[in-house]
Chains A and B, each alone.
Chain A
């Protein structure tokens, strides 16, 4: 492709089907305690 460069391998949809184990950290426990950023949390399975 000349006009577009894809930066990552999209995988969010796939993760919906194999995710939801509930073992990962509650996002508010990591560093913030006041606001909510979830996308920077780690997946327990990775």
Chain B
């Protein structure tokens, strides 16, 4: 499967099945559009010569055609899709990744919060240590031979229960060697409760920290007010700067959300980078029901796509100037990255990755929390719904009909199952706007690679 597109003056062809990316001149690009990959003959067919006769000389067309045929022979153009048997063979896998909702409570009142301002509509609750310990034991047991186990402290706001976070970390560290495991901790915080002691602890124990900030002060404070209605920007920004300054180069992300109210979100990313000094940035589209006034809708696609293109130009200019600005969704390793098997199933929620509530209830991921029909077990009694796990395990890019023939399937891996369910009531039916935005980001990410050659 080929995706050929023009962006920023470049003609780019992606061969989805091999992952090969080719930069084409105009003749080759126009020629490619006329080639049938199922009937690619060594000689340039007459109909192609005819169709392009007004634009190019016949010998030039034949030359371009022959270049493309060489790629075909090298299996980097129209290469065969051979992955379906791998996808079919996929089944339930060890549980090796957990989102621990240590606090169903929050000290901000973010307008777009999917967790009903922290309590997931179920009342405020903090996770007792006994539940956290049981979650760690559950993962050690259910991860079988997997060595690397991930725990993301999440909420609500996890710093509201930081004492328990530390006890859970200590407990996991105390048992990891005997079980031949390697725990990797991360935390996602709104920053309000950060202080020097917490910053030092996070910087020591957490391999990644996700710091929530939407960008410019007015944009952030519009969506992320505190309980008393005041904005959070002035409280959190100095704390984030202190954390990153003392982090010693370890991984972090300034993570924001954009809505219909800041479709010019490249300015927020630039603000985070240039004015505040953070070079690891992830700003993502809010996924909200269409009746929410600031939700992103299909009609916003063109504006968002144009903004991604503007952002791509900014990233190119910064990189060419020797600067380090990493935008999470433009990050792409064309020669490596995850293996094809990983790409068949993506986040693997409900299978390898689950979320645990303060009560110990297990859900496929943090976004399913609070929906009774998706409760799949509990860490205290060790239950896990095998049938539901199987349903998620089989959710691959080949079992999702819309993904099967999509050129971008090995980049998004079938999208977010929770979003699919939210909009289409099926984890197997991708959310269309999310798909279109993902495709745009992939196009930009590849184009950036080409521009920086």
Contact = CB atoms under 8 A, between A and B. Distances in A.
Interface of A: 1-13, 15-16, 18-44, 46
Contacts of B18: 10-13
A23 B338 contact: no
A9 to B, nearest CB: 6
Nearest to A2: B63
B449 A7 contact: yes
B61 to A, nearest CB: 10
Contacts, number: 213
Overall SS of chain B's interface = mixed
B21 interface: yes
Contact of B339 (A25, A27, A30, A43): A43
Given A9-B335, A25-B97, A28-B349, A37 B148 contact: no
A16 B82 contact: yes
Contact of A38 (B94, B346, B349): B346
Interface residues of B, number: 88
B419 A35 contact: yes
Nearest to A18: B339
B367 A42 contact: no
14 contacts: A3-B28, A3-B64, A5-B23, A6-B76, A7-B22, A10-B75, A20-B86, A22-B94, A28-B347, A35-B285, A36-B412, A40-B333, A41-B338, A42-B333
A37 B411 contact: yes
B448 to A, nearest CB: 11
Interface in B1-56: 15, 17-25, 27-28
A2 B340 CA distance: 31
B99 A29 contact: yes
Given A3-B67, A10-B15, A20-B341, 4 more contacts: A2-B64, A27-B347, A31-B255, A35-B415
Contacts of B94: 22
B317 interface: no
B83 interface: yes
B438 A37 contact: yes
Given A6-B22, A29-B99, A29-B150, A39 B415 contact: no
A36 B414 contact: yes
A36 B20 contact: no
Interface stretch (B192-200, B270-278, B324-332): B324-332
A7 B67 contact: no
B340 A15 contact: yes
Residue of A2, A11, A12 contacting most chain B CB atoms (<10 Å): A12
A5 B18 CA distance: 16
Contacts of A11: 18-19, 335-336
Q: Which 6 pairs, one residue from A and one from B, show the smallest C-beta to C-beta distance?
A: A19-B339, A20-B341, A10-B20, A12-B19, A10-B18, A16-B340
Given A23-B147, A41-B337, A1 B70 contact: yes
B89 to A, nearest CB: 10
Given A7-B23, A12-B410, A43 B337 contact: yes
A2 B67 contact: yes
Given A4-B22, A39-B343, A34 B337 contact: no
Interface in B427-451: 434, 438, 441-442, 445, 449-450
B68 interface: yes
B334 A8 contact: yes
Residue of B96, B332, B416, B442 contacting most chain A CB atoms (<10 Å): B416
B110 interface: no
A26 B438 contact: no
B243 interface: no
